[in-house]
Amino acid sequence: MLLAILSIGYNIDPTLYSLSFCRFHYYTQFLFTILSPSYLILASIDRILITSPNALTRQRSTLRITYISIIGVTLFWVLVHIHTLFLTSIVEPVPNLFICSLQSGFYLTFISYYTISIQDILIPLLMIILGIWAVKNLRQRRQVTAVTVTTVTVAVRPTQSKSKDSQLIQILMIDIGIYIIFNAMMPPVLIYLQILQTRSFDFAELQFGVFLLSVAAFSSYVPFCVGFYTNLLVSKTFRYEVKNIIKC
């Protein structure tokens, strides 16, 4: 976010002065862009488990499995994107214009289609499916369950834990919605840049493409910054905890 502000707002781009920083910037950008939605997917899976009507399924939601999943997913994406540390360079597409960019040709095309297919289509689709699944489980648990013991019927009412589950799922769905909305600009921008590569283009078109890419990248950073505020607006428990922290 800071680099985007410096680059777009003040025309200061540190990635143009150091190849190492250029590569590190691309690596961290790819890594953190994919980690956030991956953690949302893990959170969705955890909500599915914890809200399942099946007691055995609910028992699978444990801290140990959570830690293993987070560490495993993080290490996986750390290794998957390590290629950007070697295939990124500072190029001069037109005279007197230097940009930090991925290597042109097949690699740039591959990264563009990878971003569109994985980050902009598959991951949001998984988020939607898992979110709907979690909401469906929660609605099933909200229903009053009739438990017949011999001749006595006992009505099991929703407990406080179910209320917390409802708040957590609501927060999760809002986070998913924010992620999808603010990342919706990236696919058409990448497609536009791919079209530019197939034909000759002038300086104005290149600048326009770079501008669109910068705006799309800036927009994709927004979900990382608003999580605290959405939690504050949605969850009473979160507001209470924040209030206690401030008082301390």
pTM, two decimals, is: 0.76
Q: How far apart are CA 168 and CA 238, in angstroms?
A: 10
- Report pLDDT for 156: 45
* Residue 166 predicted with pLDDT over 80: no
Single out the residue of 209, 143, 127 nearest to residue 176, CA to CA: 127
Per-residue pLDDT band at 146 (split at 50, 70, 90)? very low
Higher pLDDT, 150 or 132: 132
Higher pLDDT, 6 or 119: 119
Q: Which residue segments constitute the domains of the chain, with CATH numbers given?
A: 2-138+159-247 (1.20.1070.10)
Task: Express each pLDDT in 96-116 by its tens digit.
Answer: 767 777 887 788 888 888 888
Task: Express each pLDDT in 177-235 by its tens digit.
Answer: 888 888 888 888 888 877 877 777 777 877 888 788 888 888 888 887 888 888 888 77
* Residue 50 predicted with pLDDT over 50: yes
Q: Is the distance from CB of 137 to CB of 52 less than 8 angstroms?
A: yes
At residue 183, what are phi and psi to the nearest 5 degrees? Answer: -105, 5
Residue 123, exposed/middle/buried by CB under 10 A (0-12, 13-18, 19+)?
buried
DSSP string, the chain: -HHHHHHHHH---GGGT-HHHHHHHHHHHHHHHHHHHHHHHHHHHHHHHHT-S-HHHHTT--HHHHHHHHHHHHHHHHHHTGGGGTSEEEEEEETTEEEEEEPTTHHHHHHHHHIIIIIIIIHHHHHHHHHHHHHHHHHHHHSPEEEEETTEEEEE---HHHHHHHHHHHHHHHHHHHHHHHTTTHHHHHHHHHHHHTS---HHHHHHHHHHHHHHHHHHHHHHHHHHHHHHHH-HHHHHHHHHHHH-
How large is the average pLDDT for residues 22-36?
Answer: 87
Higher pLDDT, 17 or 10: 17
Two tokens, residue 3: 């680099």
* Residue 29 predicted with pLDDT over 80: yes
Task: Express each pLDDT in 51-107 by its tens digit.
Answer: 888 888 888 888 899 999 999 999 999 999 999 888 888 877 767 767 777 887 788
Residue 247, exposed/middle/buried by CB under 10 A (0-12, 13-18, 19+)?
exposed
At residue 120, what are phi and psi to the nearest 5 degrees? Answer: -105, -10
Q: How far apart are CA 154 and CA 149, in angstroms?
A: 8
